[in-house]
Structure 1
Amino acid sequence: MDNLKLSDEQFTNIQESFHAFNRVYGIFFGVKKNTLNLIATILFIIFAMLLYILFVFPLAIQNGYIFLNTICVVYGFTPITTLIMTAITEPGVILKRQISDNQQPESSLTESNEEAIQIENNTQQDDIPKIYRERHCSTCNIKRPSKASHCRECNHCVDGFDHHCYWVGTCIGIRNWRYFVYFLIAAFSAPLLAFLVGIVLFINSASLAAALWFEMFDTLGTSVLIFYIFYCICGFWQHNTILNIFALIIMIFGPLVYTFSIFQNRETYQKYYYYENPYFTLFVSIFMLMISCILLPMTSTNCSNASKLKTTKQIHSEEEFRKEKRQFQFGQDKIEFNLMKKNLIQFFTYPIPKSRYQSL
């Protein structure tokens, strides 16, 4: 590309192929349509961090968990860092009209298993999944290389295309795939670590929590008891989803709000700080656990794909191919532990290809 002389019109056409990666404030390559998604994701992570810092951090320091708490707070910045790295890294966009029929893009992530080598050397295009075939892209006007695919959201082809992530606001391709997996692992493990710290603190304050429960029942008495009986009869037995959700919200927020008022108004508890209310810790811990549970399937799936050195697009293409050919075999996607370990080492160490954007 460095030695290729382009006319003004050709240069303009190549630049236009990066319309989805125009820089935002000189930093981000983020897609125009999904910039707000990226900002929303960052704000959500910051919100979760603030909950921990306000309600769990001071209690952990007070109870002597200084080292563990420091690790938790520092590691909490990892999801933001890896998210930004994913967003600012150009994923491997193949420039329009850059690749001729006899020219292939450079790719440093090579397949390590025998099946992939067979696919690469197979000359019968109809006998391999579509993702491994060389196909012509009418939109980009190029001969799309193996493992590349066209992103409808960004309207260009991406080398090693995995998927378009709306949370990150960009395509996931050969250049930012590793950063994306880093982000998922960090986004899953950071709130899980915060949950474990919160649960330890809540167990330590179990005696105070029990005292607040007895205080609440002693004050509200029959009304609280009637509510829980009503929940058990109408919610649990009748399997009413809406009623269950409503009751669970009250069960979580009710003690939280009421014990907060006890801390403020009762002489016995006025000496305590707000963060010593055990229900604040429990609420934040449950919130962190919910985040981890939501991210667990996504994280495990992408880590599993990385252990096979295959993108989501490749796996879906192979599944469609098997359905067309009616080639179903139980356990055919399973790989040995040693091969999985070798693939993961290669995934986390392969040299990221140079961006074609840098050649412009």
Structure 2
Amino acid sequence: MFFIKGRLMFGLDARFLVITLLLIVVPIVIFCTNVARNVLHEFLTYNVVYVILAVTILFTIYVLVLLFLTSTRDPGIVPRNSHPLEEEICYNSSVPVDASGRHTPIPPLPRTKEVFVNGFSVTVKYCDTCQIYRPPRCLHCSVCDNCVERFDHHCHWLGQCIGLRNYRYFFLLVSSSALLCIFIFAMSALNIKFVMDDYGTLWKTMKESLASVILMVYSFIFFWFAGGLTCFHLYLIGRNQTTYEKCRRRADNMQNVYDRGCFGNFLEVFCTKTKSSRYNFQAYVQEETPMRI
């Protein structure tokens, strides 16, 4: 799906992005309108609470920007072949004839071919849907129905594939979300401490600061989700692997030909220039002339 004349591109299941957006925004609104207000009462003579509010709002905006950058950009889609190569042996009147008058058969197209990456031979497969030989580390996403360079996985929470052009933003989004969960958990726990100092008993404290209790439970659960993903992808980045390659090599025991060493792998992900899109989504569709056989 495209918006603003092709400047924004969403996946086919972009409706789930609304749920993700609510999971981020709603807890922050509850925190700012309830928890932060109670903390304001405790720090009435200080400006600490205003710093807490500013950090919360700025950090949330940063997470939302990363969410926007991850879910609205081309993940690295490889264009389809508009004139597919012949894959079957054809014998018909349109096929050229040789000197003896017999039709010349078109040789079958190989399903795989070998290319060299860092001095190692890598097998690339032919994609029947896109009618191309997939570049190394490219995979056809069954949800988006596109071949994506350096395909990591399809994220339903973002409604978008994670690939070559948005993996960096995806990792920053996940890791920043984990830090935001820690921050909300800590501030909610601080508020509960203040309330307990006033009421003395845990039960009365929970009744008076129900929002803080809910936010603590919520942020604790989602921290394990976001924090676990952060640790997993830190491991993958250090080894220069994708999620798909990690799962596949566990079964096939394949050699990683893309590993440049831990430091070099992190430089590749975070310090290299993002590759330009292979598509110009704002261009007009050109009418193609039929191929002559």
Normalised TM-score (structure 1)? 0.61
Q: Quote the residue 2:271 is aligned against.
A: 349
Structure 1 vs Structure 2 CA RMSD: 2.8
Tell me the CA shift for residue 78 of structure 1: 2.3
Q: Distance in 2 between matches of 1:351 and 1:99?
A: 31
Q: 2:214 aligns with which of 276, 280, 283?
A: 283
Residue type of the partner of 1:163?
H
**In structure 1, what residue type is equivalent to 2:272?**
Y
Alpha-carbon distance between aligned partners in 1 of 2:20 and 2:215, rounded to the nearest angstrom? 19
Say whether 1:319 aligns with 2:250.
Answer: yes
Instruction: Find the counterpart in structure 2 of residue 54 from structure 1.
Output: 33
Partner of 2:183: 193
Contact 2:59/2:180 (<8 A) preserved: yes
Indicate which of 257, 277, 301 corresponds to 2:232: 301
1:209/1:99 Cα in 2 relative to 1: closer, same or farther (>3 Å)? farther
Work out the CA distance in 2 between the residues paired with 1:284 and 1:95: 45
Paired AA for residue 301 in structure 1: F
Distance change (3 Å), C-alpha of 1:279 and 1:44: closer
Which residue is equivalent to 2:95?
A: none
> What is the one-letter code of the residue matched to 2:81?
R
2:8 to 20, 25, 28: 28
Q: Secondary structure at the match of 2:3?
A: coil
AA in 1 matched with 2:11:
V
Which residue of the other structure, out of 66, 88, 91, is the alignment partner of 2:72?
88
Alpha-carbon separation, structure 1, partners of 2:199 and 2:218: 19
User: Any stretches of 5+ residues in structure 2 without a counterpart?
Assistant: 86-115, 284-293
Higher strand share: 2
Match of residue 174, structure 2, among 172, 184, 187:
184
Provide closer, same or farther for how the CA distance between residues 181 and 92 of structure 1 changes in structure 2, counting only shifts above 3 A.
same
Contact 1:159 1:174 in 2 (8 A): yes
Aligned equivalents of 1:49 and 1:78: distance in 2?
Answer: 13
Secondary structure in structure 2 of the residue aligned to 1:135: strand
Task: Confirm or deny: 8 A CA contact 1:99 1:142 kept in the other structure.
Answer: no
Identity over aligned pairs, percent:
19
Asked if 1 retains the 8 angstrom alpha-carbon contact of 2:30 and 2:211, the reply is no
Which residues in structure 2 correspond to 1:198-277 (within 5 Å)? 198-211=188-201, 213=203, 256=206, 259=207, 277=208
Q: Distance in 1 between matches of 2:231 and 2:248?
A: 20
* Contact 2:196–2:202 (CA under 8 A) maintained in structure 1: no
Q: 2:63 aligns with which of 79, 91, 108?
A: 79
More helix by share: 1
Question: 2:18 — aligned with what?
Answer: 39
The answer to whether the 8 Å contact 1:98/1:142 transfers is no
Q: CA deviation at 1:344?
A: 1.9
Structure 1's unaligned 5+ residue stretches are: 1-21, 102-117, 124-131, 217-254, 260-276
1:122 counterpart residue number? 120
Residue by residue, what CA displacement relative to the aligned partner does 1:301-354 show, whole Å, maximum 9, x if unpaired?
A: 1222122222112222322221xx8x9xxxx9xx9xx94344223311111100
How many angstroms does 1:170 deviate by? 0.8
Equivalent residues of 1:135, 1:143 under 8 A apart: yes
From 63, 66, 86, the equivalent of 2:42 is 63
TM-score normalized by the length of structure 2: 0.74
Residue identity matched to 1:300: C
Report what 2:102 is aligned to: none
Determine the C-alpha separation between the residues in 2 that align with 1:45 and 1:99: 45
What is the alpha-carbon distance in structure 2 between the residues aligned to residue 345 and residue 53 of structure 1? 37
Mapped to 1, the partners of 2:81 and 2:10 lie a distance apart of 23
What is the alpha-carbon distance in structure 2 between the residues aligned to residue 35 and residue 170 of structure 1?
A: 7
Per the TM alignment, residue 158 of structure 1 is displaced from its structure 2 partner at its CA by 0.6
CA distance in 1 between partners of 2:153 and 2:242 (Å): 8
CA deviations over 1:92-139 (Å, ceiling 9, x no partner): 1000017999xxxxxxxxxxxxxxxx964223xxxxxxxx42211111
Residue type of the alignment partner of 2:14 = T
